[in-house]
A and B are shown apart, each in its own frame.
Chain A
Amino acid sequence: MRSYISIVGTLVACGLFVILTGCGAGTSTVADVQSTGSTVEVQFRAQTYQPPSNCLPCHQRQYDELHSSVKSGYRNVSPLFNGLEFSSNLLAGGLLRPVYGDSTVVLPDGTPLNSNMFTTPVLTETRQVQAGFCFTCHNAHVERMGEDPSKREVPQLAGLGASFVPELLRPLRDYHMVDANGNQILPSDIGGYPPAGAMPSLGAAGITCDFCHNVQGPDLNRSFQMDGFANMSLKLGESVEKTGPFLQPVAVKGNFHVATNDTSRIAFLRSSALCNACHDVRVPNNNLTAEEHNMNPGGQNVKYYRLENLSTEWQTGPYNSTSNPFGKVIRCQDCHMSLFPFAGTSTYTVGDLNITSPTPAVFPQNYAAVPGVATDNNAPLPKRQVVTHYFAGVDVPLLSPQELQDRLGTTYPDPYEAGNDEYGIPKALATRRQALMDASVRISLSKSDSNASLGTPLEVRLEAIALTGHRFPAGFSQERTAYVNLTVTDDNGFLVYQSGYVVDKPHPQTSEAAPDGNLDDEDLEHVEAVVDPGTHTVPYAAGAGTNGHRNLVFETGPDNGPESRVYSGIPEGLVLFRNELIRVFLPGDTLGRTDASGNQIVVNTAHFEETFSASFANGVDNYRSLPPLEPRTFVYEINLPTQAELAELGVTLKGPLHVHAQVNFEHFPPLFLRFLSAATGPNGPTGHDNHLLNESVIDNYLKNIRNIASTDTTVNLQ
């Protein structure tokens, strides 16, 4: 009888596991658990947060893969991430830095502020969400370790709000260095280059092995909608019990850790729910375009807008169902932790589009740990279906290989290194990014006019479809810039029309006095904008008045499709898939720029304007990106020159006309990088250079991707 129950139990557990994970490989049997009758709850042996190097001996492959992803290491020393966090603190009086249990800060209502976004049980005050807002997602373990002052990497600021001292603010990455004895060392200059002998701290490693494998499940109390989404709403353990993907793997050498047998934790690790906890980012703010607040009891005063909305996009999209071309749920792991996009292609139809794209959810067979090293007595390990840990994304580092190694250790890989791994996946992060982007979208011009006449409008109809599991682009989708470059030329190559183009030009704001021959550092021509970097003032006052973030220059450009298409419904200009941050200025607000007489422009009625700073936005339009697997058509009504105009030009158009369209990608708008350069530079609010970004960094390391997808058609000229 006992064996019968055991078999049934095993079957049920396996069945549930298959349902929960959508992947049946690698399952093992569930042990009978017998009650001892003891009332004492025994915990697993405590184990502090481990640096990834401690996992390396037994998990070399996973270590190497993770090491070369932006998620691990690079992100925390990234000048862009640091610049964003830094400039937001300049605007907000340092409120985004973590506070800890020993804080003496008192909120205006008299309650103490002594917990941060991760350590607050239920977020009932906006200041609790702000405290460590960026740091929590990027380094939650290290933030929690900071409750012990002796282990604290990022200190609490001495002054916040009106008492904030911008001159003393250090970029977060300053704190992520230690000496040979493991003691924290800081650059002598704020934001300066790593001192000689500096090595990466625990916090420099960012999202590491222990972060995901210590996970206990979603923390619904800290999730604004009580659903485990957003803002690092995870429970993290700190014991030898690790959550792995398999039930009852072979015991680990020396009991360094044990694998949990908790099937719900295993299922959680293998599901998109794990990723959902961080890949929605909800910014505390009195949102004027969509009222949303913390649903937890007492949380009604914490209002927010949705910055990163990737997880919600997946959750509400076709890949979170069986109603997609692959007939099964496609999880985050199926594209970002598999052999995708290097494991063959699939062909399918969506609407009237025939698509060929890489196949998701193909995983390699391999050892989960190094045979002969990972187990006692050389216990044999099975080869089985495993995941990769590359987490391919859309970024490349904005640092030189040398600086990467100086900050992250001498073994840090070159993002552009040659060669492939044992599965044929490129070792170079940059190449993996290119391949991922190439798989993301398809376009067609087949519904365009086939005939055209001089002096009359030509209608070009571009159909675009995102093949991504979320919208395209996703993540920080208000900055990630995907757009259509479209040209119409005659048969002699005469350029009749262009959209989605860039022009090499000077950038006096960051001392680029003349065009430099580089187009990767140019913005699109739908708007001309310069974001105010702010100025150094004593005493400090929080807000945009002296700390920038407003549009110092904001003009429409010749290719202003987003405004025309979205608000006016006019079929012209740039097709831009980037979402938009919005500032709704209220009557009495100043715009931050002057009229022709030099007077500050004051708003008399509510005024909507695109803003580029997430810290300054009070609204967002997250519907401009392409939804997954839903074709969208964009019309270009193009005015062909008249015969008289051509005569003036001395040009004869030769048919047919050639229409070419391609999707290009910029991982960050240069204008916002220039804002960060200036805001963190010597003339910004700190009054000194914080060594994060400058024109040289932008020119050398901002690498865009052109021609993700392309298509052509011809039009007869009558």
Chain B
Amino acid sequence: MRIKFAVLAAALLMTVAALAQTTTYTPGDFQKSNPHYPHPNPFYFEGKIDWDKLAITSPSNTWEYMQRGIHNQDDLGDTAAAIQDYQTSLAMNSLTSTPPTCQIVTRATLVNGVLPSTLTPAPCMFTVRLRLAHLLQPTDPDTAITLLKEVLQIDPLRLDVNELIGEVYVQKAKADTDATAQQNDYTQAINYLQAEIALSPVTSVVTAQTGDAANNAHAHWELAEIYDTLGMTTQEKQELNLYLAATQWHSDVYPWRITLAQKRLQTLKARQ
């Protein structure tokens, strides 16, 4: 009797131990075995997901290539691999191929006023274009500008994109050796930075709600710098004043720029 009890107890303990050992955690396991785990809609989920939890061995569509690219860029710091993935993703989500492999969502796309869960071709994505543009900007600013302009086609109201284009034109202008090309690039930069500011107009409602007399501090700072380079004093003063107004209640990540703007304004006034 005592022996039987001991055998049973030992068997039970072994069973418990075996069960405990089967619960090793590996990211992605739960998702693989659970069909109900949320999968973002490949074409409407912009931004970044946890790649290691997607449990995808090899990407198979534009969205998955983009997500692996983000993983390579953000988590592994492998820029080259990220660029390759983004380019593969973009080839499957192209506005310029014939026929295009993606479409811009317009009224005609909607069915009874609702966006269907699938579209053919798929909607064009902006994240992959923004990310690839940033990585290509130092070496291939023209392609970066093309990609950013595609983002404006996809979503013309998206904030920051015009400013990014303006910054690439500034980069081009600084590298230009031809005076005309440089002037043109600065003009383009000014146009896009002003377009950025125009997307968030400081209306009477904005001022009443926030107390702000200006916004987009960085766009005004960049414009002031361009006007300083071009010797356009009046415009530079105007932008420096707007920069100071925009930072009045928001400061700046580079707070010394506020003092610098004040000093530059004093210098400009002294010159007059």
Residues of A participating in the B interface, judged by any CB pair closer than 8 Å: 4, 7-8, 11-12, 15, 18-19, 225-227, 286, 288-292, 295, 306, 312, 315-318, 320-324, 329, 494-499, 501, 503, 505-509, 525, 528, 530, 552-560, 563-564, 566-570, 572-573, 584, 586-588, 591, 593-596, 598, 601, 603-609, 619, 621, 623, 627, 630, 632-633, 639, 641, 645, 648-649, 651
CB proximity of B68 to chain A, nearest CB, Å: 13
Set of chain A residues within 8 Å of B253, measured between Cβ atoms = 497-499, 558-559, 572-573
Q: How far is the CA of A286 from the CA of B153 in the complex (A)?
A: 25
CB proximity of A651 to chain B, nearest CB, Å: 7
Q: What mask results when residues 145 to 176 of chain B are scored 1 for a CB within 8 Å of chain A, else 0?
A: 00000000111111110001000000000000
Contact of A553 among B133, B164, B206 (CB under 8 A): B206
**B residues 6-39 touching A (CB-CB < 8 Å):** 8-9, 12-13, 15-16, 19-21, 23-27, 30-31, 36-39
* Contact of B50 with A567 in the complex, beta carbons under 8 Å: no
CB proximity of A526 to chain B, nearest CB, Å: 10
Contact of A496 among B31, B52, B256, B259 (CB under 8 A): B256
Contact of A587 among B23, B48, B110, B198 (CB under 8 A): B110
Given A289-B44, A291-B117, A569-B130, 14 additional A-B pairs, CB 8 A = A288-B115, A322-B21, A497-B253, A499-B253, A506-B249, A508-B211, A554-B200, A555-B159, A564-B160, A566-B47, A570-B134, A588-B107, A594-B205, A605-B156
* Contact of A4 with B256 in the complex, beta carbons under 8 Å: no
* Contact of A557 with B250 in the complex, beta carbons under 8 Å: yes
Given contacts A556-B160, A649-B263, contact A288 B44 (CB under 8 A): yes
Contact of B209 among A509, A586, A645 (CB under 8 A): A509
CB proximity of B161 to chain A, nearest CB, Å: 9
Interface centre among B1, B25, B37, B73 (most CB of A within 10 A): B25
Q: How far is the CA of A226 from the CA of B153 in the complex (A)?
A: 42
Q: What mask results when residues 238 to 265 of chain B are scored 1 for a CB within 8 Å of chain A, else 0?
A: 0000000001011111111001100110
Q: How far is the CA of A530 from the CA of B44 in the complex (A)?
A: 26
CB proximity of A460 to chain B, nearest CB, Å: 12
Set of chain B residues within 8 Å of A321, measured between Cβ atoms = 23-25
Set of chain A residues within 8 Å of B20, measured between Cβ atoms = 19, 322
Set of chain B residues within 8 Å of A604, measured between Cβ atoms = 106-107, 156
* Contact of B12 with A495 in the complex, beta carbons under 8 Å: no
* Contact of B249 with A503 in the complex, beta carbons under 8 Å: yes
B212 at the A interface (CB under 8 A): yes
CB proximity of A258 to chain B, nearest CB, Å: 29
Segment from B89-97, B181-189, B214-222 that makes contact with A: B214-222
Set of chain A residues within 8 Å of B49, measured between Cβ atoms = 623
B81 at the A interface (CB under 8 A): no
Q: How far is the CA of A588 from the CA of B264 in the complex (A)?
A: 45
* Contact of B36 with A225 in the complex, beta carbons under 8 Å: yes
CB proximity of A534 to chain B, nearest CB, Å: 14
B232 at the A interface (CB under 8 A): no
Considering only CB atoms, which chain A residue lies closest to B27 in the complex?
A630
CB proximity of B76 to chain A, nearest CB, Å: 10
* Contact of B38 with A619 in the complex, beta carbons under 8 Å: no
Q: How far is the CA of A495 from the CA of B257 in the complex (A)?
A: 11
Q: How far is the CA of A682 from the CA of B259 in the complex (A)?
A: 42
* Contact of B254 with A639 in the complex, beta carbons under 8 Å: yes
* Contact of B215 with A555 in the complex, beta carbons under 8 Å: yes
B109 at the A interface (CB under 8 A): yes
Contact of A558 among B133, B250, B264 (CB under 8 A): B250
* Contact of B205 with A19 in the complex, beta carbons under 8 Å: no
Q: How far is the CA of A329 from the CA of B30 in the complex (A)?
A: 15
Set of chain A residues within 8 Å of B247, measured between Cβ atoms = 558
* Contact of A15 with B15 in the complex, beta carbons under 8 Å: yes
Set of chain A residues within 8 Å of B255, measured between Cβ atoms = 495, 498
Set of chain B residues within 8 Å of A322, measured between Cβ atoms = 20-21, 23-25
Interface centre among B26, B45, B217 (most CB of A within 10 A): B45
Contact of B106 among A19, A292, A323, A605 (CB under 8 A): A605
Q: How far is the CA of A405 from the CA of B43 in the complex (A)?
A: 51
Set of chain B residues within 8 Å of A553, measured between Cβ atoms = 205-206, 209-210
Set of chain A residues within 8 Å of B12, measured between Cβ atoms = 11-12, 15
Q: How far is the CA of A528 from the CA of B206 in the complex (A)?
A: 10
* Contact of A567 with B8 in the complex, beta carbons under 8 Å: no
Given contacts A506-B249, A555-B200, contact A316 B53 (CB under 8 A): yes
Q: How far is the CA of A176 from the CA of B42 in the complex (A)?
A: 45
Q: How far is the CA of A11 from the CA of B10 in the complex (A)?
A: 11
B113 at the A interface (CB under 8 A): yes
B105 at the A interface (CB under 8 A): yes
What are 15 residue pairs bridging A and B, where the CB atoms are less than 8 Å apart in the complex? A7-B5, A15-B13, A321-B24, A322-B23, A494-B256, A498-B251, A528-B212, A560-B160, A567-B130, A608-B46, A609-B157, A621-B45, A633-B77, A648-B263, A649-B259
Considering only CB atoms, which chain A residue lies closest to B1 in the complex?
A4
* Contact of A607 with B256 in the complex, beta carbons under 8 Å: no
* Contact of A306 with B50 in the complex, beta carbons under 8 Å: no
Contact of A316 among B30, B45, B201 (CB under 8 A): B30
Contact of B254 among A497, A588, A606 (CB under 8 A): A497
Set of chain B residues within 8 Å of A623, measured between Cβ atoms = 47-50
CB proximity of B124 to chain A, nearest CB, Å: 9
Set of chain A residues within 8 Å of B37, measured between Cβ atoms = 312, 316
* Contact of A290 with B40 in the complex, beta carbons under 8 Å: yes
* Contact of A11 with B9 in the complex, beta carbons under 8 Å: yes
CB proximity of A324 to chain B, nearest CB, Å: 7
Set of chain B residues within 8 Å of A632, measured between Cβ atoms = 75
Considering only CB atoms, which chain A residue lies closest to B31 in the complex?
A316
* Contact of B41 with A288 in the complex, beta carbons under 8 Å: yes
B195 at the A interface (CB under 8 A): no
* Contact of A501 with B251 in the complex, beta carbons under 8 Å: yes
Q: How far is the CA of A437 from the CA of B104 in the complex (A)?
A: 44
Set of chain B residues within 8 Å of A8, measured between Cβ atoms = 5, 8
B140 at the A interface (CB under 8 A): no
Q: How far is the CA of A587 from the CA of B123 in the complex (A)?
A: 13
* Contact of B50 with A596 in the complex, beta carbons under 8 Å: no
Contact of A530 among B70, B117, B210 (CB under 8 A): B210
* Contact of B16 with A18 in the complex, beta carbons under 8 Å: yes
Set of chain B residues within 8 Å of A645, measured between Cβ atoms = 256, 260
Set of chain B residues within 8 Å of A572, measured between Cβ atoms = 253
Set of chain B residues within 8 Å of A641, measured between Cβ atoms = 254, 256
Closest 4 pairs (CB-CB, A-B): A321-B25, A323-B25, A596-B201, A606-B105
Interface centre among A288, A316, A609 (most CB of B within 10 A): A316
* Contact of B74 with A569 in the complex, beta carbons under 8 Å: yes
* Contact of A606 with B155 in the complex, beta carbons under 8 Å: yes
Considering only CB atoms, which chain B residue lies closest to A602 in the complex?
B157
* Contact of B105 with A605 in the complex, beta carbons under 8 Å: yes
Set of chain B residues within 8 Å of A608, measured between Cβ atoms = 46, 126, 155, 158
Set of chain A residues within 8 Å of B164, measured between Cβ atoms = 568
Q: What mask results when residues 130 to 149 of chain B are scored 1 for a CB within 8 Å of chain A, else 0?
A: 11011100000000000000
